[in-house]
Amino acid sequence: MIISLVLGVSFQAVRSDKIPWVRSWTTLSVTTQSLQRVAEISLSEAFALYRDNRALFLDARDPWSFEEGHIAGAVLIEPQTAGRQVSEIRKRAGGRQIVTYCDGTECHLGVDLAKALEKQGISSVKVLINGWSRWREAGYPIEKGKP
């Protein structure tokens, strides 16, 4: 126990990408923390890309939520299966911007999916935080149906 305490404290003192010992974990800070390595896209920018067909939207929620409604043209990709669908995603994106989203400010799935894709070497990924609710409330195109 003491050895691990000493190692932990020492490594924390010298590492460059350290996290603070204590921080406030509000909903906002959770989103900000998880976003530190993933780019966010604004709703207006996402819609501009959508309108010009310059983005592929990936829905990171569960299949049932997707079936009830999703951004028109979006593809359902769950973060845990993203690694196995990389070639399909690349093919569908065809060089376009990839935008991931889920629903709610506390939802990490969009960020998780973006991170999973970046890990597989796909760099053009941005996250639309609370994407489904904001997109629907803005009156942008949506559709229902199975994946």
Partner 1 sequence: MKTKIMAFYSSPVLSLAFRVILGALFLYAGIAKIVDPMGFALSIHNYKLLPESLINVAAILLPWLEVVVGGSLLLGIGTAGGALIATALFSIFAGALTINLIRGLDIACGCFSTTASGGSISGFYLLRDFSLLLMSLQILFFDRTLFSVTRLRKK
Question: Per rule CB under 8 A, is residue 34 in the interface with partner 1?
Answer: yes
Q: Which range in 49-57, 91-99, 115-123, 137-145 contacts partner 1 by CB under 8 A? A: 115-123
On the CB side of 135, CA atoms within 13 Å amount to 29
Of 89, 99, 101, 112, the one binding partner 1 (CB under 8 A) is 112
Tell which positions 38-97 bind partner 1, by CB under 8 A: 79-80, 82-83
Q: Which residues pair with 101 in a beta bridge?
A: 59, 128
Instruction: Between 49 and 102, name the residue whose CB sits nearer to partner 1.
Output: 102
**Count of residues in contact with partner 1, rule CB under 8 A:** 32
Length of the chain: 147
CB of 66 to partner 1, least distance (A): 15
DSSP string, 53-93: T-EEEEE-S-HHHHHH-EETT-EE--GGGGGGGHHHHHHHH
What are the angstrom distances between the C-alpha of 104 and each of 14, 49, 61, 96? 36, 22, 11, 25
Q: Which of residues 125-144 bind partner 1 (CB under 8 A)?
A: none
When binding is defined by CB under 8 A, the residue of 14, 16, 21, 64 that contacts partner 1 is 21
